Structure 1
């Protein structure tokens, strides 16, 4: 807030004193900013004098200050991008005709060449720098040729990685949505052929190419296994945020393959989670998210690796945000207890969870309903099922898929427990097998087989 006030006070960006006074007035309400702070009667007369105290004038003030805020956010981002600033200074000096830019350009190029894990931004700056330098060198032909080759190599790598990245996204969307007739990514066949004949590739290009092959040829297992082999080989050579995206894409491929051969691909998937979390590649802003944590736990339980899962829960709980640690600990321990049929412990852990996010409400209620059923407390099970159904019908601000996932669970469990005719039971079994999305499909099938063993 103080930085923003300094920004608004700068005459380079703002010469309107009323806007500065308005910003100072609003800052006094930081961080809550109640609605009444913008009531016309509350705003001081030096900001809105009597002859201008109307909604239109207030709207102008808000609009202009909002524009300044956006410019301020852009400036903050620019200040963090020191390499971009340096390149802009060099290009500015070059356009002004100053010779000072040449030694600066050479020093900047040396600095860029020393970056261990260049991403897209660094690649583009390396290309831009080499390209500018190429046009300015008047030395030996051999030196010019070296720079020329560098420019070509940097441009090729930048182009190929981005083309592959778009290709991966298109293939992914076609598989998930199964509707993408308007997408065009020309030259991909030629790029694929070119890369297939390449003897050596850098870490980023190698991983993006392998990911692309996995998405384009999902039934060819060799591409996936090569990707899984390349990841640990190259993961430390790539900037962590980008590597996290590649890990998550690989995990998503694994999740799809788990539908065909669960044990094989669940084991690989758990290995990816384990390595990604151990190296902190799957961390966000230095922390493990509670949902990545939970996903690893779920797979561990499905593989019946109970000791590993319990140890994992306790080992990595301190790496979660402090506010999330307690709920994540008890909700996941409740899942372990339920999987081992220790239902008293399940109830005990569930009782310690404080609902602070709708996802916890959903997962906790489903586990509670399942535990009531497993302990043969059918009345409590039906009562909790009814209350959960009402809660879901009133739930706002969540995706339809998340909501339907739970609603279908409630509907089908109720049908399993309450339907009496054989014809309806047959329909229910078919729905459990085919309904999408559906939470706890395997458990519902198990309950159905116990309730109606003849089917």
Structure 2
């Protein structure tokens, strides 16, 4: 049962949330089935990882229905399903408790249905207060003001149906703002994904929104969040540096307007712009990428579900190494090590630390670091072997290099985790470093007459190939030229 949805949900909950789950199960308002509580007690005894082989349906059945009970799979499946639904209800309740303005909005609907005028006025005022206290002034806030105006208009109709009230106009005006902001946000997301995967998304009415925003005196221009999204969209669709610079300025001045999720998306757009510039040959944008990452770290914008993803960790380390900020990069690697997913923490940390040490020309230290961990993931295993091979090459350890070269070839052939692209890219690297080592050991230059070994052009022709820049740099050195 360790792979069941219920176990997955319990694993995703914090310790406090699991305690709240049990409290909900004990409340007769939410749950009147004591078997659900018994099943939950059995499951929670395996917290926090829920990976024990004893976490099985048969054992759960005995714990709930008593030792010696005849196992009935349909019965336990139904009980598991009911417990899962209670878990979903818990998440909804937790979300509601974190959004008091929404909670008050939901309260107004039944009060309106019951024409409870005295309660309506009091709770309507409270809803307005809670809406104004929302920390952001972006999509969520505008949506809340739309609902607020709509409910206030309904309440006013009950009190004075034949008199003008300002809430219908406010509802229309706020709806325009909300639509424009949400439309721009969706348009940015579409433009970003179209660039990444050529998805072909099309955003209707976006030109109308942008035209309205550009008009002098437009109400859209009074909302900085809308201006930020308009600038992000311009950057994503034109690739002009001026829009990138302006978006950075706007974000620095108005980051407090956005909740974390929206800020993360906006900074991701900045980073994607920088990556595209780097891929176009503008390597100066590595500085922009690292500066943006530092800003995001300072603002707490890089964590997902409380952890740093391995890819973000690698990207930050790569940028730091590229810019030769070695001291800061090592500080980052060690400081944020514990914030990686425990499942791949050692692989990710060790690989990146070894990559850093290699770039510092600490080849012996690099090899020692890579000996301290057994890489369980095929990607990291092969990446580590490449760093080892490069270190052996730099140290002149020909025998060790050739032995590892052969072992790596066999690993690629037998491994089923590596994609076809990864296998080909790594295989070409092994071929090229073999050429380099052979040329180096013979003391020949590739540029000599009637060369017996591949020239730089042969390495250049390999596609795809891992670490191509390093390979070409070593080939130039063997030709007696200065490295790039």
Q: What TM-score do you get using the length of structure 1 for normalisation?
A: 0.80
Quick one: distance in 2 between partners of 1:381 and 1:109? 70
CA deviations on 1:46-103 (whole Å, 9 max, x unpaired) are 7279896433333333333333333333333333333322221122212221111222
Q: Say yes or no: does 1:6 pair with 2:23.
A: yes
CA 1:332–1:110: 2 relative to 1, 3 Å: same
Residue number in structure 2 paired with 1:108: 127
Quick one: distance in 2 between partners of 1:392 and 1:81? 52
CA 1:159–1:29: 2 relative to 1, 3 Å: same
Deviation larger for 232-241 or 329-338: 329-338
**8 A contact 1:416–1:451 mirrored in 2:** no
416, 423, 426: which one pairs with 1:410?
A: 426
**Matching of residues 372-411 of structure 1 within 5 Å:** 372-388=392-408, 390-391=410-411, 400=419, 404-405=421-422, 407-411=423-427
Residue number in structure 2 paired with 1:63: 81
Q: Say yes or no: does 1:123 pair with 2:139.
A: no
Quick one: distance in 2 between partners of 1:287 and 1:72? 23
Offset at residue 189 of structure 1 (A): 1.8
Offset at residue 109 of structure 1 (A): 0.7
Residue number in structure 2 paired with 1:217: 238
**Matching of residues 49-448 of structure 1 within 5 Å:** 53-99=71-117, 100-137=119-156, 144-145=165-166, 147-148=167-168, 150-180=170-200, 183-197=201-215, 200-218=221-239, 220-284=240-304, 291-303=311-323, 306=324, 308-314=325-331, 317-321=334-338, 331-352=351-372, 355=375, 360-388=380-408, 390-391=410-411, 400=419, 404-405=421-422, 407-418=423-434, 428-432=459-463, 435=464, 439-448=466-475
**8 A contact 2:58–2:71 mirrored in 1:** yes
Offset at residue 326 of structure 1 (A): 8.1
| 3-state secondary structure, aligned to 1:117 | coil
Offset at residue 375 of structure 1 (A): 1.9
**8 A contact 2:26–2:37 mirrored in 1:** yes
Quick one: distance in 2 between partners of 1:449 and 1:298? 24
Quick one: distance in 2 between partners of 1:41 and 1:142? 67
In angstroms, what is the RMSD of aligned CA positions? 3.8
Unaligned runs of 5+ in 1: none
**8 A contact 1:314–1:329 mirrored in 2:** no
Offset at residue 374 of structure 1 (A): 2.0
Number of aligned positions between the proteins? 438
Unaligned runs of 5+ in 2: 1-17, 436-450
CA deviations on 1:14-73 (whole Å, 9 max, x unpaired) are 444444444444444555464555454773497279896433333333333333333333
| 3-state secondary structure, aligned to 1:321 | helix
Q: What TM-score do you get using the length of structure 2 for normalisation?
A: 0.76
Offset at residue 311 of structure 1 (A): 2.9
Quick one: distance in 2 between partners of 1:202 and 1:333? 45
Offset at residue 194 of structure 1 (A): 1.9
Offset at residue 130 of structure 1 (A): 1.9
CA deviations on 1:191-237 (whole Å, 9 max, x unpaired) are 2222233563433212211111122222x332223223322222233
CA 1:386–1:11: 2 relative to 1, 3 Å: farther
| 3-state secondary structure, aligned to 2:261 | helix
